Amino acid sequence: MQFPHNTNLYYIVQNTPTVKIPLDDISDLMLKLSPSIEDIFIKCFWRGVSYKCRDILRFQRTEEGFCYSFNSQTAERSTNDESNINPPFVGPDGILIPLRNNAAGKETGLKLIMSNMSSEFFPTDNRRRGFNVMIHPNDGFPDVATAYKIHAVRDRITRISVSVAQVEADESLDRLDIRNSQCYLYRAKAKNLNSLFHKSSNEDTCFIKCRMRAIYQACNCTQYFFKLYKVLQRNPKIPEDEPGFPRWSIPFSMNCSCRPPCSFTTYTTELRYEFRQFINKEPSSSRYDVFLEVNYRELFATSYRRSMRYTTQDLLVSFGGVASLFLGCSLVSIVEILYVIYKSFLVIVRNQYNNYKLNNNPAWPDATAI
């Protein structure tokens, strides 16, 4: 039933009544009908070396449906797991270890040659052929809002350059509670990340879960390409005791309260287009394939550290410095003097108390007696 093998497919679809499919079988049915890796990818390269696409790509669930991903810890582990080199790898303690790269520039990252999938479109469908490409952290789900539209254009190469910035939380943030902290500390390890309800260090995963809850609230269902979740609950949408929000004026909306993580890695992407070289040596049928390269833009990454502006110790030191400025001497010296006075006062009080007990109690032994 696949065009162009069946040329009457369009007319059959138009004249055949709708087939009722049980809701529980929709996800499995769409999974079986989705294009395979061989249908989409022609050649795959990693760091200039050609590999079988099935060996380095995995099945991935996104908000736009079933996709394929590279080096993603949130990809499905149950499918396409027969390859020993398919990243990310499972470490000795069960932690998923992604591939890393220490090179930048052309031909140093991931290169994909993809089919334009013209055989999957109806003859009267004039939409441009291409794919949606999403760059995301390996421990989070792809965010469809950041997708690039990569079209099949004659003799054109699409190159995505990636810059990396990392923010790391200092140990001083552990002393803050959730209400006083402006960020969230995620403590989960990279296990079973193909579930949306894991504690990811990616803020986009929080927004994806929020959108899923909103869809579940509106239609009591979830998209076929995500697993069913019966624990989704209603989100508050209308602010209480706030003027200007009558209920009749509030459309269906979402209230996504997602705190940014204290430690995270962000990727800044830049899209460029180039023309293929030596195009006359390529067959004419391959000139409309999709050529995509993803590589690092620089050999370095920008790192930041997030810590408390003032701790208790810093506050005492600052107060001592200001006090010393006005007193003309070190505050530590004043504290030492007060300590000596306090200890001397305790010694005097103790001696006075012993003398009082000695004078009022005849049975008390003489201090000079042996």
pTM of the model: 0.64
Instruction: Tell whether the model's pLDDT for residue 255 goes beyond 80.
Output: no
% of the chain surpassing 70 pLDDT: 68
Tell me which of 138-147, 173-182, 241-250 is least confident. 241-250
- The answer to whether the beta carbons of residues 90 and 96 sit under 8 Å apart is yes
> Nearest 5°: phi and psi at 354?
-65, -40
Of the listed ranges 159-168, 282-291, 354-363, the least confidently predicted one is: 282-291
pLDDT for 20 equals 65
Q: What is the pLDDT of residue 133?
A: 93
pLDDT of residue 116: 82
Query: Higher pLDDT residue, 253 or 38?
Result: 38
Dihedral (CA of 46, 293, 166, 204) sign: negative
- As a whole number of angstroms, the distance between CA 358 and CA 364 comes to 6
pLDDT score for 93: 78
Task: Give the pLDDT confidence of 44-79 residue by residue, as tens digits.
Answer: 999 999 999 999 999 888 877 889 999 998 888 766
Mutual angle of helices 331-360 and 312-327, in 10-degree steps: 90
Torsion over CA of 122, 123, 124 and 129, rounded to 10 degrees?
70
Of the pLDDT bands very low, low, confident and very high (cuts 50, 70, 90), residue 96 is: confident
Stretch 197-216: mean pLDDT: 66
Residue 279 above 50 pLDDT? yes
Q: What are phi and psi of 213, to 5 degrees?
A: -65, -40
Using the predicted structure, report yes or no on whether residue 190 has a pLDDT greater than 80.
no
For residue 107, what pLDDT band results from cuts at 50, 70 and 90? confident
| Per-residue CA distances from 75 to 118, 166, 178, 208, 280 (Å) | 27, 23, 30, 15, 38
78 vs 183, residue with greater confidence: 183
**Mean pLDDT, rounded, for 148-167:** 89
Is residue 344 over pLDDT 60?
A: yes
